[in-house]
């Protein structure tokens, strides 16, 4: 395996030795009065966090048989949710987080797939639609935080086995059906320890908790802060999706670290330009989507004292690589170098290493890659087939389905996804590159592009869903000219649909499957290219 095709982190961090909940308790013993969570004017110390988690642990232990099983948590964000997560881990169970909005089909699919021993809610469980379904259809127990006695019985935390499960996160697969991805206590502890150390999280730091429940990013934000003795600041729902309110909240709460997706960061950049930059923000972390260079450059200009970091990787390894943006970027921002404990390789269709500068398939392997899916998706083994040939660290392999290349300096560049590429008149194009070209124009607030295929399976045209800015030049002929200048005659026919906003999933990413059902604010205008 050549150096150009395989990039490995320069030495993995030593094992944390303890699970995240044990590290939180260690912090509480050392700094019991330090502020653990701040929420809507409420201040919770580390001692008080332990006190709130203890009744949850006791209630679960009283049920019997929860140790080693999944326990689902479906509560609003805030201190009570954080205490519930800690209490579940203390009981020896592993976490399955379900968003409070997941009362529909997705919530039922997740619960039916993972079959938790218990569902934790906060409020009247008898009137919670999903809780009623869980109890009636799956026969599971429901624990309501509102009904627990805060002065009731206490239970000591159960020591965790490093290889035991810490959580199962569900992410939508290519079919749209959620897939369960399990991670161990060792992997979660290793990752949050690295995360906190690399991004300056420690006593006195204030970390925003923006990611939605059910996503591993949410657990990372929570436990990176609490294992390091920092203060966790959950973002209020009224500000989470509103960039103007969020920018003001970041400043008012003196947030040092904020993590989001690039498409939301673009909207946040506009709010910062209109209302001023947050004064305390030391780190802005972007993940989950490709980061266009023009957006990275705009963020660096607006936040000159903030460290800007691009993170990449699948849920199957939590993340895989990171890249600090320190200068101007052209094209897409690199995804950088591997996070400790992960080796990233670029190979061809026969698993042969690609030389530097040649695009291939990105593969992640190492001890912190999940060994496979759980539940119904457990039979899907193709993404986890080991690479042919010797070399590499011990541990599973995950074939990401992403494309990339390794530069001569060892830095990885993201090349898109094979299923996001289209071929028209023999020319291969990347949908995200088309989106970046459109989004860079001043009349476009945000956009997403999809391909429409003909009966022969070939791409017949594209549809660009655009959220326009109120400007005279905000019209399809202007957008057509933008794409023609960038791509020339290679550009396929494209139609434009103007929307008030792009549909998004609870993780903040654009929900591409919902785009065709989005209600347009303007009639679709067919614009032929070439």
pLDDT band of residue 405 (cuts 50, 70, 90) is: very high
pLDDT greater than 50 at residue 381 = yes
Q: Which of 171, 97, 116, 108 is nearest to 377 (CA)?
A: 171
Higher pLDDT, 128 or 342: 342
Higher pLDDT, 30 or 106: 30
The pLDDT of residue 321: 98
Q: What is the mean pLDDT of the chain?
A: 88
pLDDT band of residue 84 (cuts 50, 70, 90) is: very high
pLDDT tens per residue, range 3-12: 445 565 544 3
- Give the lowest-confidence range in 244-248, 351-355, 455-459: 455-459
Structural domains of the chain ordered from first start: 44-159 (3.40.50.980), 425-527 (3.30.300.30)
Q: What is the distance in angstroms between the CA of the first residue and the CA of the last residue of the chain?
A: 43
Mean pLDDT of 342-353: 93
**Three-state SS across 35-90?**
EEEEECCEEEEHHHHHHHHHHHHHHHHHHCCCCCCEEEEECCCCHHHHHHHHHHHH
**179 neighbors 170 (Cβ within 8 angstroms):** yes
The pLDDT of residue 15: 43
Q: Which of 243, 247, 241, 321 is nearest to 286 (CA)?
A: 321
pLDDT tens per residue, range 149-192: 887 777 778 889 999 999 999 986 544 578 999 999 999 999 99
Mean pLDDT of 129-137: 92
The whole-angstrom separation of Cα 185 and Cα 163 is 6
pLDDT greater than 80 at residue 318 = yes
The whole-angstrom separation of Cα 303 and Cα 301 is 6
Predicted TM-score (pTM) of the model is 0.83
pLDDT greater than 90 at residue 283 = yes
The pLDDT of residue 142: 95
Q: Which of 301, 309, 302, 225 is nearest to 259 (CA)?
A: 309
Total Cβ atoms within 10 A of residue 84: 28
| Angle between helix 216-227 and helix 185-198 axes, rounded to 10 deg | 70
**289 neighbors 261 (Cβ within 8 angstroms):** yes
pLDDT greater than 80 at residue 425 = no
pLDDT greater than 90 at residue 215 = no
Mean pLDDT of 310-328: 97
């Amino acid at each position: 395996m050549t150096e150009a095709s395989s990039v490995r982190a320069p030495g993995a961090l030593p094992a944390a030795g303890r699970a995240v909940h044990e590290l939180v308790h260690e912090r509480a013993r050392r700094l019991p009065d330090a502020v653990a969570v701040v929420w809507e004017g409420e201040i919770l110390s580390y001692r008080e966090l332990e006190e709130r988690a203890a009744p949850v642990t006791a209630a679960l232990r009283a049920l019997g048989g929860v140790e080693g099983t999944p326990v689902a948590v479906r509560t609003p964000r805030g201190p009570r949710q954080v205490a519930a997560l800690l209490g579940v881990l203390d009981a020896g169970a592993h976490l399955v987080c379900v968003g409070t909005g997941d009362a529909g089909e997705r919530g039922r699919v997740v619960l039916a797939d993972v079959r938790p021993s218990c569902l934790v809610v906060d409020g009247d469980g008898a009137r919670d639609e999903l809780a009623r379904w869980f109890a009636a259809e799956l026969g599971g127990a429901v624990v309501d935080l509102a009904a627990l006695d805060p002065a009731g019985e206490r239970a000591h935390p159960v020591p965790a086995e490093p290889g035991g499960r810490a959580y199962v996160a569900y992410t939508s697969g290519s079919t749209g059906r959620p897939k369960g991805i399990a991670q161990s206590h060792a992997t979660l502890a290793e990752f949050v320890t690295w995360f906190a150390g690399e991004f300056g999280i420690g006593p006195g730091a204030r970390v925003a908790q923006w990611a939605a429940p059910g996503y591993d990013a949410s657990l990372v934000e929570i436990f990176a802060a609490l294992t390091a003795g920092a203060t966790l600041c959950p973002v209020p729902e009224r500000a989470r999706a509103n960039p103007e309110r969020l920018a003001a909240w970041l400043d008012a709460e003196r947030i040092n670290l904020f993590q989001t997706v690039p498409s939301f960061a673009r909207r946040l950049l506009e709010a910062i330009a209109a209302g001023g930059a947050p004064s305390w923000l030391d780190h802005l972390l972007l993940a989950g989507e490709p980061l266009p260079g023009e957006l990275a450059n705009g963020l660096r200009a607006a936040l000159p004292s903030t460290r800007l970091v691009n993170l990449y990787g699948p849920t199957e390894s939590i993340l895989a690589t990171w890249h600090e943006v320190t200068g101007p970027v052209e094209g897409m921002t690199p995804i950088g170098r591997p996070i400790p404990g992960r080796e990233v390789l670029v190979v061809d269709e026969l698993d042969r290493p690609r030389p530097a500068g040649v695009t291939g398939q990105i593969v992640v392997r190492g001890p912190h890659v999940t060994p496979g899916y759980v539940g119904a998706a457990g039979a899907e083994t193709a993404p986890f087939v080991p690479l042919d040939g010797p070399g590499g660290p011990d541990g599973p392999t995950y074939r990401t389905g992403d494309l990339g290349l390794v530069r001569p300096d060892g830095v990885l560049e993201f090349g898109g996804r094979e299923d996001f590429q289209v071929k028209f008149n023999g020319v291969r194009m990347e949908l995200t590159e088309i989106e970046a070209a459109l989004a860079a124009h001043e009349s476009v607030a945000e956009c997403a592009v999809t391909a429409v295929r003909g009966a022969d399976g070939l791409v017949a045209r594209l549809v660009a869903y655009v959220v326009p800015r109120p400007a005279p030049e905000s019209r399809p002929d202007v957008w057509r000219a933008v794409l023609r200048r960038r791509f020339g005659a290679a550009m396929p026919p494209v139609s434009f649909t103007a929307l008030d906003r792009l549909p998004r999933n609870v993780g903040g990413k654009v929900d591409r499957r919902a785009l065709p059902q989005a209600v347009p604010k303007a009639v679709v205008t067919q614009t032929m290219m070439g």
